[in-house]
Amino acid sequence: MAHVAEWKKEEVSELKGLIDSYDVVGIVDLLNIPAKQLQEMRKSLLGKAVIRMSKKNLIDLALEDCNSDKNDITDLSDYMDGQVAIIATEMNPFRLYKILEDSKTAAPAKPGSIAVDDIVIPEGDTGFEPGPFLGELQQVGIPAKIDKGKIVVSKETVLVKAGEEVSAKVASTLSRMDINPMEVGIDLKAVYEDGAIYTSDVLAIDEEETIAKVQDAFTKAFNISVYAAIPTEETISAIISNAYTKAFNVAMESAYATSETSEPLIGLAQAKMLALANLVADTEGALDDELAEKLSNAAAATVAVVEEDETVDEVEEEEEEENAEEEAAMGLGALFG
């Protein structure tokens, strides 16, 4: 840089210092951002990120000087389009991208600007009285008519397709309709972190979809861990609970008595005994007095439970009727003061 102006050397040195000071370095495009909005965006990034505008060739030189410490950072040079600036931060690249995207604001279309997305004119009332504006709408290709004393768009229309240029007439019409189809903001082109370059299409993730996928992956991994009996901090409790349940079921099926299964086994055996006794109860002499008494007591207990349930239902019905009568009385009271 022997024959380079001193201010350029200083600029490259400052850019290099900025790049060396941060782990995450990106290239942004500031084209078409009004000065006032740019200042507001800078303020919103205060303490989070630093933006430094400079000439492309000077940024290239600074990236080359930093390449020995930050491998392949010179690849950022491939993404320097528009009004280039460096953005440096310690934030995660995905978080940085989201913050910059969220800071973008709607803006009117200017003649010659390129539509990022389809510019759609909705069907319905435009709010304009009948007049020359009707012809203006029709001239740019918007189906419009007079309806009930207002100019209305008769059908939703794609006025400008994504990637097409906005003409002066279309820009004027959109402005009069108060439609702002463009976005103004800091456009993050690419970010460098730990030897990797992340472009905007990689950084533009759907948060809800990503969270749902992570949750689904966690659930599947959890189930595999439990069923394969691979203990982890998250699954050990479920594995032990699952093992206990299976052991308990095996013990019950094989009538193996333990401190946990003895009582339910006896209860199950008694239930089977009473069920069998009930089948032969009508046969004379089939049951001894003790077994007959137990069967009678079981039947009486069943009847008592049924009667109790019926009583509860009746009480609930009476309470509902009383509540209905009270509500009706309150309604009449309110009606007649």
| 19-62 confidence digits (pLDDT tens) | 999 999 999 999 878 788 888 888 888 889 999 999 999 999 99
For 61-80, the pLDDT digits (tens) are 999 999 888 999 999 999 99
Asked whether residue 334 carries a pLDDT value surpassing 50, the answer given is no
Q: How many CB atoms lie within 10 A of CB 192?
A: 26
> How far apart are alpha carbons 231 and 239 in whole angstroms?
7
Residue scoring higher pLDDT (197 or 35):
197
Total-model pTM: 0.57
Give the β-pairing of 182-184 and 187-193.
unpaired
CA distances from 135 to 19, 108, 141, 142, 178 (A): 55, 21, 10, 10, 18
Residue 182 pairs with which residues in a beta bridge? 107
Asked if 268 and 249 touch (Cβ cutoff 8 Å), the reply is no
Residue 107 in tokens: 């803006």
Q: Residue written as tokens 């594995």?
A: 239
Asked if 12 and 63 touch (Cβ cutoff 8 Å), the reply is no
CATH class of 6-104+185-205: alpha beta
For 120-138, the pLDDT digits (tens) are 999 999 889 999 988 999 9
> How far apart are alpha carbons 50 and 29 in whole angstroms?
14
Give residue 224's pLDDT: 93
For 289-317, the pLDDT digits (tens) are 677 777 777 666 665 545 555 555 555 56
Residue 4 in tokens: 């380079």
Asked whether residue 282 carries a pLDDT value surpassing 80, the answer given is no
Give residue 333's pLDDT: 38
Asked whether residue 213 carries a pLDDT value surpassing 70, the answer given is yes
Q: Report percent pLDDT > 70 for the chain.
A: 85
> How far apart are alpha carbons 90 and 44 in whole angstroms?
16
For 83-123, the pLDDT digits (tens) are 999 999 999 999 999 999 888 888 888 888 888 889 999 99
Segments in the chain forming alpha helices (H): 6-21, 35-44, 56-66, 93-102, 132-139, 168-176, 200-203, 207-227, 236-253, 262-279, 289-336
For 312-324, the pLDDT digits (tens) are 555 556 565 555 4
Q: How many CB atoms lie within 10 A of CB 272?
A: 10
Q: Where are the domains of the chain?
A: 6-104+185-205, 119-182
Residue 114 in tokens: 């390129």
Give residue 310's pLDDT: 56
Label residues 223-235 b or e (16+ Cβ within 10 Å = b).
eebbeeeeeeeeb
CATH assignment of 119-182, among 3.40.50.261, 3.40.1170.60, 3.90.105.20, 3.40.50.970? 3.90.105.20
